[in-house]
Structure 1
Amino acid sequence: MDNSATLILDKPKSEPVKEQPSRLRGFLAGVSSGVTKLCVGHPFDTIKVRLQTSGLNSRFNGPLHCLKQTIRKEGFRALYKGATPPLVGWGIMDSVMLGSLHNYRLLLQGNDPTVKLNVFQHTLAGAGAGITVSFVATPIEQIKARLQVQYDSTTKLYNGPIDCARKLVRNNGIRGLWFGLAGTMACRSFFSVFWGSYELYSRALRKTNLNEPTINFLAGGLSANNFWICAMPFDTIKNRFMTQPDVKPLRFPNTWSCATFIYQTEGIRAFYKGFIPCILRSFPTNASAILAFETTMRLLKNSGI
């Protein structure tokens, strides 16, 4: 054997290139999730918020009655009332939430994307992402909710999202936009349930012959149902607290007083007002959003981003 052949045989094999962590990928993919969520889910959200904030003497007999009355009196476009803040807001919120989720996962992985996290670690990353995004979500959700409960000329206080934001700041200062932050944090902390159960569902579904996009869709929808079963009471309190009349003294000075009032006047079932449209909305909206997120994540990864 000649020397050149020996050199070829003795040449050490090159090590596989280690995947480099991308801290930007989750933020970019989150935008696609937010836009998808708005298109699919906003009409359901409008019905949910109207039922949640209607109080004891509700003008609606249930979600179907609310849907019919809304369309009959205000037209189909009324289902997208308050959609402008989420159109921008959900893109921003999902970018922050899913981007921070991705980075919390990287932190728990020791900055090595190849490390497999356990279910508890996914749950912990979800809780951190939910609390982080609350600071962005609170002003967006407050403006959205206030616009959604404008039924007619007698209840119309704002001409649009900018007018609503301007009046809130004028009456309460810049901090007025974060009115209800504690309730938002309490509600969104249950993203721990979402992402913990998402990992469990994904593991179980991967034992089948389903492809990855289908697994993303099904696991996302099922996890969203788990989230809302746990978070719904806190979402009701948040929306009732945020949409109270902006006059001094406030009817509910804090979220606890709001929760106490709902329980004492309407009972425990009031915390689940709007649950049916919420669950009907939950699966298709979040299944589609997670599919968009995971697909975009794969595309960005394959593109080297």
Structure 2
Amino acid sequence: MSTDQSPYAEIDVTQWPSAGDEQLGTKPKRWLMHPDTGESWLLKYATYSTGSDGSCYRKGDDWAEFIASRVAAGLGTPAAHVELAVERSETVRYGIISKSVLTEDEQSGDSDGELVLGNGLLARPTAPGDRLGYTIDAVQAALANTKPPIGSPPGFGAWDVFAGYLVLDCLIGNTDRHEENWAVIVTPNERRLAPSFDHASSLGFQISDAQRNQRLETRDEGFTPETYARRAKSPFANKPHLIDVASAALDRCTRAVREHWLSACEDVDELVRPIWRVPDDRMSEVARQFAERLLRSNCARLFDQVR
């Protein structure tokens, strides 16, 4: 168990060279080049929303994606390397940087790696308004003859690892595992499941601190953080609850794989620790309390349903 309680460091990317905009997704983001290593990192800024009182507030998509990457590490789930980032120009902008899931050889062209998104792998392509073909069975079929990511648990296949992605989604309340938020890396010699990426839609990132505080203090059982967590749904066909998706995925694994992922969830105290190491200027006290209660609730419900 880690005993380090110090705040995580932020990386100043102000002077990092730009390597072009990223076209996928709805939020503006751009690729940067690490000035020392030449590695490609995707810069994603924190976004803003308007509260019910008309005030503007910064959402938590930056800290949510960062914490999710640390929870993934705690579970042993292959995931993109994410760091907190800050850019200081005319104004200070907060965000995260996410390292490309392609290896350096695949990025340089030495092994000609291509990131093929899930929608290009499904037997029935989907669209935001038509996800009837986006099912657990369809994803499992799409991952046939696919190797697991680099760094996967020994003996695991691609589907076994993807089931771990869905367990991660369940714990953090990630509602955005749609058909373009997972991928396979294809080279002339193999196809390999990419590490999990893009976890910003997690941990109640989008609500204001005012609403978090109301939910933390309420006596109304229908308005608590735990109730909020129970309402989270997946973009799979018919919008099942996240816990049902994780449960269904684990049902399609061997007992050994199922127990591996459930055992990884047992030390919930360690899994919530990253929440409390995000710098104070990035995440408020009520956001931490809300995120911890959400994660603990989801973990308990997963055990209740699967074990």
Superposition TM-score tier, normalisation by shorter sequence: under 0.3
Q: TM-score, normalised by structure 1?
A: 0.27
Larger Rg: 1
Higher helix share goes to which structure? 1
Higher strand share goes to which structure? 2
Q: TM-score, normalised by structure 2?
A: 0.26
Structure number with the bigger relative contact order (C-alpha 8 A, sep ≥ 6) is: 1
